[in-house]
Structure 1
């Protein structure tokens, strides 16, 4: 090891007890390999029948592989690259290499089907990735490809739906103390009654952090410990027909600063970026007649982002109504509409407030038909019309077929359009830096209220097969992105937001899951290539990703898991900025290896387990391009070798 050996921590955590571990492989192979999903069509259907390309990460995989956060769970998903920037640490889930900015607004995150967007940047998501209580999850559904026809803005490169437990949660408690100052407290419990159920999950986690060391934009050395503080509270309930989702998530991350400089701004130990995200959504299904249901949802979401230069907050009210008409074997119609009211404000810190207080309304209407006949061929067709203030309405389309060749295999052909509307930081930002000795502006950033939505059109095809405990799928895709929002230097030296970017992305994805006796092997390979006006690899994302994991539950007393990711290297920042300063190591290919060993036992009558998890076992130095300002070529991306000791007790 180049750095320190693993340090150990003591953690009481939710995990698989001995009984749960033994039940993992008691499900039928069909249930394990062709699971039911709701995200692709907004209703439950098998993975084979669902439109588009979808991956499911099960609860058993999440817990067996020893992930400590949602960020780490998604890191193991096919064709997903998790990363951040020096300004937004741990903030990005990049699908199919479509990384355009350090705000995560190309991928939409859902909680039980309800969108979690902020109207300030549209993608300030690190509180979700680091604070969300993953022990609440039943599974995760990941759509690769557009989803805007049903879900609206941000469902651009993909959709991630966090599906929580429906049954009563077992009471459990979590305590932690560990390496790099890690400490945690986790609690969960559930109640079941005649009128329904309610589950509660709490997670608190903090660490002093790993050493972030780099040269800055003046080639000056510096370092800090990349620590964090996170806490969250999640309440889910189904009471008297009301579906309730309530989430409060907070994350404070030590960060480099608003620019890649050790000297610009306050002292380094006073630099933190914090995000507070809250969601309350209430839904109700009204049965109008036997085949016709009206689904109503009313939601409130707030976001607060803060660092030393300014604070930004938004309040969001979302109303959605959807008619669901089930025509037995004839098919299923969905028709709905949304109203999203946004209110945004900023307050000054060391800098002036960059956005004056304002509010706006966004509207949408959508419809989709999906056939449900007993013949091998089924099809679907959908559209959404969106109206954003100050710009013309835009329309997106979706169409495709699912052809079941026989009981074991099938084909999907899918076309989808999607959009990503510009948010407040792009339309209303107004921060001009004045002036030099001649009275000219020295720089700044200026919003553009007339920005058109970014557009993507994707054509994809998939072949899938299930046989003998093995399911695999091979997908190919081509995406054409247009009207991308970029920054352009104006005559007065201020950067303006403009629609001028384009990107062509194409690639293939192979993923599979193999189950034999008491073990499970998952694997994936993904390849993507992208071009911008003839410039290759414009997004800078790695072209190749190989991921695999092996889970073993061959004993009531012991289980083990190993997971591995190999990534080819990121591409040079000079592709995006020829004037980038090359001061740090260029990002190269890397291996990310993790291990988990678990001992299941009982304390009296209570189930318990003791798990040792190790991450980045090979102690790789992993670098990524600097994607916030693109002034320097790279910076460190994550911690070196580390390990945790987990103890789980069911109360």
Structure 2
């Protein structure tokens, strides 16, 4: 019903808009042709904005950056942002038993359920949540892919310009301007009862430019068959855990809706992303929700994870002089996150946060060889969390299956806190072949001393296409005022108000070669993380509340790795993308590679676009090596004597796998001579074509060795009309 309503509304809007007010765009056919009529050399001249908050050539940017273009997104296909990111060098998209789609791991780094070591930007503006610091589930699933112009992914710290959270990477989703926007509607259906519909619109009304993208979808879900944490009995006297229950199966149902809307009037821009999603999973303690008295192996009930997100920004940019440009932004982030068990009248947990960020940024061209960017940020955060299964006094609420609790327990009392930061970065070009970059950000959060995160860079480029970068940067992540500092759920977890910020320092060396239609880059990185935030064991005698894990600063982690990426435009029709990434890590306790992420990744894509003939095909394969040993939690040799607290092999082992996708696009206007003012195409998109059985390491609680992570083979067909 929702899909039908969306398409009806789209056609109504398109019919209402007077052609004289709609921005004069070329037909989709000529737009597509333009992408491939550019010279190969022009296509390789990539400009980026994320590293310095201003446009610069990719080879001049003081960061290790991957760019995913509109052509690549369209050619290889994608239904969700997560699928695009999974193809990026050094990125592995994964999740936990609770949030199966919320972790873009960069360089092997993972945290918990929350992707709080990565900062996501929408057109350069931060998407934040003060509850957990990394709830991006709605973005990864519900952002309209058709709206994306390109992605810029920074691997490495970005705190110098973006502050807390830009820790191991920054993902900048850059949407299409009105000049590139096309009026398009599509409907898609396929495996696992999957349905999706979407549209993009662009219009110019007087001096106001408007663009919008919408997507909605649902799925009956793939079958997730695993044992949960309650399927075994801990046997401390023996050398292994004893399994007592068979695996259970739950269909990973989901539905979602996302809208991305932009308005521009001269120097004023207003952008808003609104999304909601509803996904099934395990209970947040890693167990299936099983009806009382159910037989062994009986189908569990779903635990629902509900998200509602608003990310809005209003910004004004103007030139004070020929050499001084300034901008002011007000950014608002609202997040609602709730966990709801099937058949209950109220939620298990209900979390709200509302965050406002004010930023002033200045760009100075002090000399033809010297540029400066500086600014300041004020970030106010407030929120709370209710726990309806308990009353306000902590006693059990006995009517949870009958009615909502009007006076629930505050597992996170309402908080209101403000962070401050200021930043500066200078870029000096003493010679045509050399660029020097230096910058720093000062961050002040309550109860923590002033933190300074520096950046240094030496960038060399020759007229022969050879380039090199030597980079050093630091970043920090302040503990979140909600989940990490204030949460109080006895028996589950409590926060610690005096947590220190996490810190990382990263050194990178990159050599590259870019010439006409070929691009090759090799990168080595080394990172040192300190004061990592994690949970204690329930049995820890130092816990403030007995038998309750507590958030603490756990220690250090060293990691290093090598990345190789290449692009080749063989002809205007044929392009090839590929990458190799390898990483390893070790904690100060001697635990090696215990996060369970792939130690090696090899990715290769081939796209052939026969524009004149009206068809294209894109084939992509990602090989993900097996990860490290997540059992390395309590012993430096990875084999605790009594196996207490380790992950039993309750589920299949995490193994290496190939993830093969293919996307075929047929333009009916050209293929069959279909005469229409609109371009009509049909598409077939297949994922996991080898039907690989894919399991993620259960790195969050570590009570299991693995969870099932992705669906089996899936095919989805699309009909698209471009007006």
Pair in the same fold by TM > 0.5: yes
Aligned to 2:373: 334
Does residue 124 (structure 1) correspond to residue 180 (structure 2)? The answer is no
Structure 1 residue corresponding to 2:608, chosen from 522, 537, 552: 552
Give SS of 1:509's match. Answer: strand
Q: Which moved more, 1:551-560 or 1:391-400?
A: 551-560
Choose from 655, 665, 689 the match for 1:588. 655
1:98 aligns with 2:109: yes
**Within the alignment, does 1:493 sit opposite 2:547 as a pair?**
yes
Match of 2:77 in 1: 66
Q: Give how far 1:426 is off.
A: 0.5
Counterpart for residue 418 of structure 2 = 361
Q: Does 1:425 align with 2:451?
A: no
Q: How far apart are the structure 2 equivalents of 1:227 and 1:576?
A: 33
Q: How does 1:207-246 map to 2 (within 5 A)?
A: 207-219=219-231, 220=245, 221-246=247-272
| Contact 2:471 2:507 survives alignment (8 Å) | yes
Instruction: Give the structure-1-normalised TM-score.
Output: 0.94
Q: Which residues of 2 match residues 376-525 of structure 1 at below 5 A?
A: 376-423=433-480, 424-433=482-491, 444-489=492-537, 490-491=540-541, 492-517=546-571, 518-525=573-580
Give me the whole-angstrom Cα distance separating, in 1, the residues matched to 2:307 and 2:633. 28
Which residue of 2 is the match for residue 599 of structure 1?
A: 666
Which whole-Å CA distance do the structure 2 matches of 1:157 and 1:262 have between them? 32
SS of 1:611's equivalent in the other structure is strand
Shift of 1:632: 0.9
Distance (Å, rounded) in 1 between the aligned partners of 2:465 and 2:316: 37
Does residue 649 (structure 1) correspond to residue 716 (structure 2)? The answer is no
Q: What's the TM-score once normalised by structure 2's chain length?
A: 0.84
Contact kept in structure 2, 1:328 and 1:372, CA below 8 Å: no
Distance in structure 1 (CA, Å) of the matches to 2:220 and 2:98:
18
Deviation at 1:268, TM superposition (A): 3.8
Q: 2: CA distance between counterparts of 1:35 and 1:520?
A: 16
Describe the SS at the equivalent of 1:100. coil
State the distance in 2 between where 1:207 and 1:581 align: 31
After TM superposition, list the pairs within 5 Å mapping 1:266-281 onto structure 2.
Answer: 268-281=300-313
Report Cα offsets for 1:125-166 as digits up to 9, x if no partner: 111000000111110000000000000111111000000011
- Secondary structure, aligned partner of 2:721: strand
Contact 2:289-2:303 within 8 A present in 1 as well? no
CA drift at 1:181: 1.4
Secondary structure of 1:71 counterpart: helix
Does the 8 Å CA contact 2:315/2:329 hold for their aligned counterparts? yes
1:49 equivalent in structure 2: 60
Structure 1: how far apart are the matches of 2:558 and 2:31? 45
The answer for unaligned runs of 5 or more in structure 2 is 1-5, 11-26, 232-244, 293-298, 341-347, 391-408, 635-642
Please give the root-mean-square deviation of Cα atoms over the aligned residues, in Å: 1.9
Q: Give the match for residue 240 of structure 2.
A: none
CA distance in 2, matches of 1:538, 1:585: 17
Structure-2 separation of matches of 1:337 and 1:268:
50
| Alignment partner of 1:251 out of 277, 284, 289 | 277
Distance between the aligned counterparts of 2:275 and 2:226, measured in 1?
A: 30
1:542 maps to: 598
> How far is the alpha carbon of 1:231 from its aligned partner?
0.4
* Deviation (angstroms), 1:211: 0.2
CA distance in 2, matches of 1:24, 1:375: 30
Which among 602, 618, 636 is matched to residue 690 of structure 2?
A: 618
Q: Do the aligned residues in 1 keep the contact of 2:248 with 2:300 (CA within 8 Å)?
A: no
The answer on whether the counterparts of 1:607 and 1:649 sit within 8 Å (CA) in structure 2 is yes
Distance 1:138 1:265, change over 3 A: farther
Instruction: Give the Cα–Cα distance (whole angstroms) in 2 for the partners of residues 138 and 51 of structure 1.
Output: 22
Describe the SS at the equivalent of 1:597: strand
Q: Which has the higher strand share?
A: 1
**Where does residue 322 of structure 1 map in the other structure?**
361
Is 1:488–1:497's contact at 8 Å kept on the other side of the alignment? Answer: yes
Q: CA deviation at 1:373?
A: 5.0
Partners of 1:176 and 1:592 in 2: CA distance: 21
Residue in structure 2 matched with residue 299 of structure 1 by the alignment: 331
Distance 1:83 1:292 in 2: 43
CA drift of 1:512 comes to 0.7
Instruction: Structure 1 unaligned segments of length 5 or more: list them.
Output: 1-10, 434-443
Q: How many residues align?
A: 629
The yes-or-no answer on 1:632 pairing with 2:704 is yes
2:96 and 2:698 in contact (8 A); partners too: yes
- Work out which of the residue numbers 266, 271, 287 in structure 2 matches 1:261: 287
Question: CA 1:264/1:332 → structure 2, altered by over 3 Å: closer, same or farther?
Answer: farther
1:555, 1:342 → 2: CA distance? 50
CA contact (8 A) 2:115 2:136 kept: yes
Q: Distance in 1 between matches of 2:448 and 2:532?
A: 15
Question: Residue 519 of structure 1 contacts residue 553 of structure 1 at CA under 8 Å; is this kept in 2?
Answer: yes
Q: Is contact 2:178-2:203 (8 Å) kept? A: no
The alpha carbon displacement at 1:500 in A equals 2.6
Note the C-alpha offset of 1:182: 1.3
Q: Does 2:216 match 1:204?
A: yes
**5 Å matches for 1:69-218?**
69-168=80-179, 169-218=181-230
Distance 1:620 1:499 in 2: 38
Partner of 2:637: none
Deviation at 1:493, TM superposition (A): 2.2
Comparing 561-570 with 341-350, greater Cα deviation is found at 341-350
Task: Tell me the CA shift for residue 269 of structure 1.
Answer: 3.2
Is the CA contact 1:17–1:609 (under 8 Å) kept in the aligned structure 2? no
Cα contact 2:594–2:630 (8 A) shared by 1: no
Q: Distance in 2 between matches of 1:344 and 1:102?
A: 19
Q: State whether residues 89 and 253 of structure 1, in contact with CA within 8 Å, keep that contact through their aligned partners in structure 2.
A: no
